Amino acid sequence: MNKKILVTGGLGYIGSHTVVALQQSGYEVVIIDDLSNSELFVLDRISEITGIQPDFHPIDLKETEAVNDFFETAKIDGVIHFAAHKAVGESVEKPLMYFRNNILGLVNVLEAMKKNSIDNFIFSSSCTVYGQADKMPIDENAPIKKAESPYAKTKQMGEEILEDFVSAYDKNVISLRYFNPVGAHPSALIGELPKGIPNNLVPFVTQTAAGIREQLSVFGDDYPTRDGTAIRDYIYVCDLADAHVKALNRLLEKKNSEPLEVFNLGTGVGSTVLEVIKTFEKVNGLNLNYRIVGRRAGDITEAFADNRKAARELGWEPKTSLDESMRTAWEWQKTL
Ligand code: UD1
C-alpha cells in the first residue's frame, strides 16, 4: 500500500506543485483546501499532469470539528501543511484574521494528529523569520529577529508551537524555510494565481508583460548592493516541491536526527530586482515597462540562503536556473 499524505493548501501555489511531485513519487495524496486563495480547476490540472485525481476535501481548518471528523476517517501517514494566508501588507491591516487562520488552523491540525496518532509533519516556513540577517548567506543558525509583520509572526509562532508539539507528544517535524518561490510547472498547467494586484515581484513582472499592469515599480535603487536594487534568492517552485518529497521520505524512514529539524530552501545565489527583470526580458525576448520608485516599507536589503544543510541532510539541491524559472513564469502567464 502506498503511504497516504495529507496536503493542506494543496490547491495553492507551492501546494499544487508539491502534490504533483508526491504523486509522481508514488504517494497517495489527499488535499484539504478552503479555496480562499485558490481555484478548484487546479484539481483537474493536477490530474492532467499526473493522471491521478487526488482526493479533495473543501475543509476550513479553523473548523475544529470538521478537521477532527476528517482525521478520524482518513488514514493518514503524514501531513504537509501549506494552508495559510501569506500577504504581508494585508496581515498588517488584519492581524487577527492572520492569527486566527494561520495559528488556529495549525493547532487544529496538530491536535487532530495527536488524537489519531499521526507522527510526521512538514511545515511551510519562510526566510522572513530571519528579518534582515547580519550576515550572508543565511544559515539555519542565524538568529530569529523580531518579526516585521503579523504574517512573519505567524511563521515564527508556528515554529515555536512545533517545538513544544514534538517534545510533549513525541512527534517528528521538519520546518522548511522558503526563500522566494518563483516559476511554474513546465507543463504550464499549474502556477501562481495571485488574486487582485500582486504583491510579489515575479507575478507583477509577468502581468506587466501581459499588459494587465501598465508598469512595474522597482522599489528602490539606493540599497547598498551591486546595482542599488534589493537582493533576494529566487527558488524554482518545482525544486521546492522536490524538497518536500525528500523531507517526507526522511521522516517516514525515521532518518531525522532531531524531532524538529529546520532547513533553508534557496538557491544560495542572490539576484537583484534589476537582474530578475533583465533575465525575464532576455529569456522571453520582451521589453518590460518599469521605472524606479521609492523603497517599499518593511523591505530588507538582501536575503539569500546558505542551503548546504539541505544538501547534506536531505540530499536536495536546486536544479533549475533563474532563466528557466522566468521562462516558465511567462509560459504560465500566457495561459491565463
Ligand atoms: C515577501 C514578504 C515575505 C514573504 C514573501 C513570500 C515582504 C517584506 N516580505 O518577500 O515575508 O515570505 O513575500 O510571498 O513583503 N519588488 C519590486 N516591485 C514589485 C514587487 C517587488 O521592486 O512590484 C521588489 C521588492 O522590493 C523586493 C523584491 O522585489 O526587493 C522581492 O519582492 P517580493 O516578491 O514581494 O518578495 P519579498 O519582499 O522578498
> What is the whole-number distance in angstroms between the Cα of residue 199 and the centre of ligand 1?
7
Q: Whose CA is nearest to atom 1 of ligand 1?
A: 200
Q: Whose CA is nearest to atom 29 of ligand 1?
A: 201
pLDDT of the chain, 336 residues: tens digit per residue: 799 999 999 999 999 999 999 999 999 999 999 999 999 999 999 999 999 999 999 999 999 999 999 999 999 999 999 999 999 999 999 999 999 999 999 999 999 999 999 999 999 999 999 988 999 999 999 999 999 899 999 999 999 999 999 999 999 999 999 999 999 999 999 999 998 999 999 999 999 999 999 999 999 999 999 999 999 999 999 999 999 999 999 999 999 999 999 999 999 999 999 999 999 999 999 999 999 999 999 899 999 999 999 999 999 999 999 999 999 999 999 999
Q: 172-178 and 180-182 as β-strands: parallel, antiparallel, unpaired? A: unpaired
**Distance separating alpha carbons of residues 120 and 90, to the nearest angstrom:** 31
> What is the whole-number distance in angstroms between the Cα of residue 173 and the centre of ligand 1?
27
Other beta carbons within 10 angstroms of residue 74's beta carbon come to 16
190 lines ligand 1 (CB under 6 A): no
Prediction pTM value: 0.97
Other beta carbons within 10 angstroms of residue 169's beta carbon come to 14
**Distance separating alpha carbons of residues 240 and 235, to the nearest angstrom:** 7
In CATH terms, is domain 4-182+235-266 a member of 3.40.50.720? yes
The full length of the chain comes to 336
96 CB burial (10 A radius; 0-12, 13-18, 19+): exposed
| Active-site annotation holds for 234 | no
CA distances from 75 to 29, 69, 83, 133 (A): 11, 12, 20, 41
